[in-house]
Amino acid sequence: MTGTDLRGNPCGTRSAAARDAAETALWRMMSFYDTPLADLDAASHHDPAWALPHVMRAGFLLSLTEPAQLAAAGAHLRSAQARSAGAPARERAHLEAVQAVHEGRWQAACRIWDELLLDHPRDALALQWAQLWDFYRGDAANLRLRPARALPDWDEADPLYPNVLSLHAFGLEENNLYPQAEEAGRRALERDPRVPWAVHAVAHVMEMQGRFEEGGAWLRQHQPAWAEGNGFACHLWWHSALFRLEAMDTEGALRLLDRRLAGDALQITLQRVDAAAMLWRLHLLGLDMRSRCAELLAGWELGGAQAGWYAFNDVHAVLALLGAGEPARAEAWVARCAERALCPDDARRSNHAMAREAGLPLMRGLIAFARGEHAAAAEALYAVRGSAQRFGGSHAQRDLIDQTALAAAAQGGGRAIGRALLNERLMAKPASPLTLHWRARLAEGARRQAD
């Protein structure tokens, strides 16, 4: 028997209690307040025959980008399949899409969600999941376009409308539409202050525009809503530290790193990625991060299926290994990633192309930098910039490529590349203390070469 959800979408249960529990789980997935698993257990308790809660469990686990969750996600998908015979087409489409994610076919999954949203633009689950995997794949166009296609069909009084508006805000930001992105993010928060993705979108705007003092104040203003009991807090602390770095407040960035991006605060790979990125940026600025990188690696499982699962995560593992002074382990890691990217047995996986086009060239450039081969590193890193979006993440996250290339140029590798990157930076936003630091480093490097 089927009914409808709170937005009129076909729903595979007529149990109001099951539907309400799944709705709470959906809100948690969009707002990051606690995990949705207990709510999905409640949904299954109220309607054991309903397939969608099992699909949602699988999708949530896969969204963590943890290969260790593949087996559990697969079990949930099998449970959903066993209950799918009478499910509405919309829920069967979700099952098909999450199955594609499980198989590593992320682009195929997003195509399925695209088709689903043509008929059901108020399917918040499809919008949420498609945005995540667009982000993981570096598909900036669809980060903006998909929410834009759906939003006019939403009732602004819907409790989830601010969450969907925040998806649109982030897509606008990643397409360099900064005023529109900020307006959408602020509007989402006016409707509901508990939308961390909107806080995040506006923080990205301020980062890209060089508004580092305002950005730090923005995050502090909204900190009561996101800092406790929210799975996205670690990433927003990373943004706070990023604003400190832009001001060249390395001591402030270190305090945040040690309090908020270390130890028990790091539970999943996505959080360790943030820690590795901040450690690397501090390393580039001349701080000794070896012990902290070693501590990060001690809690990071880098064996088995981890290598080559997701290029973005792979690159950050290399950052941690190089920062810890373990180039041999980093080279072995890259070799395993390369072997998997060329493996014909699972050639349909989206990550293979991402690794070949962006991840592997970037990791090799980073290793060249660690070896002191600064000219080769600058050239490799400069060459990969055009395809770097292909391995996912945001403009702000991928900026570590430019900063590493600037560091390589400052140490004698590719003065022309360093000058070009600095010019590009100065044309994009006002000269921050960090940008002035790189200008001084490049000038110092040029003087050394002249002598």
- Residue 204 covered by a domain: yes
Q: Which of 3, 4, 2, 13 is nearest to 48 (CA)?
A: 13
User: Could you tell me if 112 and 189 lie in one domain?
Assistant: no
User: Could you tell me if 397 and 267 lie in one domain?
Assistant: yes
CATH number at residue 38: 1.25.40
Domain termination site, one of 231, 255, 277: 231
Q: Which of 384, 373, 358, 451 is nearest to 138 (CA)?
A: 358
- Residue 327 covered by a domain: yes
- Residue 144 covered by a domain: no
Q: What is the pLDDT along the chain (451 residues), one digit of tens a residue?
A: 578 999 999 999 999 999 999 999 999 999 999 999 999 999 999 999 999 999 999 999 999 999 999 999 999 999 999 999 999 999 999 999 999 999 999 999 999 999 999 999 999 999 999 999 999 999 999 999 999 999 999 999 999 999 999 999 999 999 999 999 999 999 999 999 999 999 999 999 999 999 999 999 999 999 999 999 999 999 999 999 999 999 999 999 999 999 999 999 999 999 999 999 999 999 999 999 999 999 999 999 898 778 999 999 999 999 999 999 999 999 999 999 999 888 776 778 899 999 999 999 999 999 999 999 999 999 999 999 989 998 899 999 999 999 999 999 999 878 899 999 999 999 999 999 999 999 999 999 888 777 6
User: Could you tell me if 125 and 156 lie in one domain?
Assistant: no
**The pTM of the whole model exceeds 0.75:** yes
The one-letter code for the residue type at 218 is W
pLDDT score at 451? 66
User: Could you tell me if 259 and 390 lie in one domain?
Assistant: yes
User: Could you tell me if 162 and 257 lie in one domain?
Assistant: no
User: Could you tell me if 325 and 396 lie in one domain?
Assistant: yes
CA distance 344 to 173: 37
User: Could you tell me if 167 and 34 lie in one domain?
Assistant: no
Q: Total structural domains in the chain?
A: 3
pLDDT score at 1? 55
Neighbours of 303 (CB within 10 A): 7
- Residue 188 covered by a domain: yes
User: Could you tell me if 255 and 395 lie in one domain?
Assistant: yes
Beta bridge partners of 10: 4
How many helices (H) and strands (E) would you count in the chain? 24, 2
Q: Which residue has the tokens 């990625």?
A: 273
pLDDT score at 53? 98
CA distance 415 to 319: 24
User: Could you tell me if 322 and 356 lie in one domain?
Assistant: yes
pLDDT score at 225? 95
CA distance 18 to 283: 50
The residues near 451 (Cβ < 8 Å, ≥ 6 apart) are none
Token pair of 391 as six digits = 């391995």
pLDDT score at 448? 79
- Residue 297 covered by a domain: yes
Domain termination site, one of 93, 116, 138: 138
CA distance 316 to 331: 13
pLDDT score at 344? 74
- Residue 239 covered by a domain: no
CA distance 368 to 238: 27
- Residue 145 covered by a domain: no
User: Could you tell me if 212 and 350 lie in one domain?
Assistant: no
Contact 340, 306 (CB under 8 A): no
User: 287: buried, middle or exposed (CB in 10 Å: 19+, 13-18, 0-12)?
Assistant: middle
3 state DSSP class of 33: strand
Q: Which of 257, 310, 315 is nearest to 285 (CA)?
A: 257
User: 189: buried, middle or exposed (CB in 10 Å: 19+, 13-18, 0-12)?
Assistant: buried
pLDDT score at 324? 98
pLDDT score at 306? 84
Domain termination site, one of 188, 209, 231: 231
Q: Which residue segment(s) compose the domain that 248 sits in?
A: 244-451
User: Could you tell me if 158 and 25 lie in one domain?
Assistant: no
User: Could you tell me if 403 and 313 lie in one domain?
Assistant: yes
pLDDT score at 321? 98
- Residue 238 covered by a domain: no
Contact 26, 124 (CB under 8 A): yes
CA-based angle 307:240:253, to the nearest 5?
Answer: 80
Contact 140, 361 (CB under 8 A): no
The residues near 256 (Cβ < 8 Å, ≥ 6 apart) are 237, 240, 241, 244
pLDDT score at 414? 80
